């Protein structure tokens, strides 16, 4: 199964991607992870991506999709994958579909993690991250030491309440057309209530997959 995750910032896609991948026995693939791996390994596409990043430019979709294609040509994804952060715009959704079709594959299920805006604002504005390892912590004050690496916990500027609301507005502008795009192709996203503990959300997601 190729499972695509959608949802606003802070809805828990990263955590759910890892938990669902473990439950389904398939790898989780996130755009940032495959990009960092390509840069680390010095692949041809990794070097091309680095040339854009060194100039301060966004890495084009075709380069990202090329790196994703390499992933889907490997044995690692022969049984499927959970895709997190791979699709944020309609052109990306279309490009992913074309790339997978050339490999005789396609997105099997789309999952949309849904949560009230103000709950997201409260969740993200109470979050701090380590300035070294970037691990997130909930309800921990800035300046506290990170238990994982000894770094210092900080609150990111884009986690301030008004910044979160702006991120949500951008997300909705970009993602509403993506949801419609998948609905038009008989892959209507499964809507999952994303508040509650990570385990509760995973249970809802797995139940939704079984029911569909």
Q: Which of 50, 71, 105, 156 is catalytic?
A: 156
Residue 91 pLDDT: 92
First vs last C-alpha separation in the chain? 13
In angstroms, the Cα distances linking 64 to 22, 34, 141, 203 are 25, 9, 36, 31
Q: Is the pLDDT of residue 187 over 80?
A: no
**Percentage of residues of the chain with pLDDT beyond 90:** 51
Q: Enter the pTM of the model.
A: 0.82
In angstroms, the Cα distances linking 160 to 138, 165, 195 are 14, 9, 20
Residue 178 pLDDT: 92
Cα separation, 208 vs 212, in Å, equals: 6
As a residue count, the chain comes to 212
Residue-wise pLDDT tens digits, 71-93: 999 999 999 999 998 898 899 99
- Domains by residue range for the chain, with CATH: 2-115+168-211 (3.40.50.300)
Residue-wise pLDDT tens digits, 10-66: 899 989 999 999 999 999 998 888 888 888 888 898 898 889 888 878 788 899 999
Q: Which of 50, 69, 71, 88 is catalytic?
A: 88
Q: Is 169 a catalytic residue?
A: no
DSSP per-residue codes, 176-196: HHHHHHHHTTT-PPEEEE--S
Q: Which of 28, 109, 123, 127 is catalytic?
A: 127
């Amino acid at each position: 199964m190729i499972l695509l995750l959608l949802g606003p910032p802070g809805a828990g896609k990263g955590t759910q991607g890892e938990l669902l991948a473990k439950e389904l026995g398939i790898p989780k693939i996130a755009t940032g992870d495959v990009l960092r791996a390509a840069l680390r390994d010095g692949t041809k596409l990794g070097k091309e991506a680095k040339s854009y990043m060194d100039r301060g430019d966004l890495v084009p979709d075709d380069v990202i999709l090329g790196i994703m294609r390499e992933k889907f040509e490997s044995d690692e994804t022969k049984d499927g994958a959970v895709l997190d952060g791979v699709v944020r715009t309609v052109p990306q959704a279309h490009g992913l579909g074309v790339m997978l079709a050339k490999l005789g594959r396609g997105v099997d299920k789309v999952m949309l993690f849904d949560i009230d805006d103000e709950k997201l604002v409260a969740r993200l504005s109470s979050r701090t991250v380590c300035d070294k390892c970037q691990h997130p912590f909930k309800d921990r004050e800035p300046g506290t030491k990170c238990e994982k690496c000894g770094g210092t916990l900080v609150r990111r500027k884009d986690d301030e309440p008004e910044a979160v609301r702006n991120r949500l507005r951008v997300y909705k502008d970009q993602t509403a057309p993506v949801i419609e795009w998948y609905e038009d192709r008989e892959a209507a996203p499964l809507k999952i209530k994303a508040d509650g503990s990570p385990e509760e959300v995973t249970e809802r997601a797995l139940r939704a997959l079984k029911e569909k």
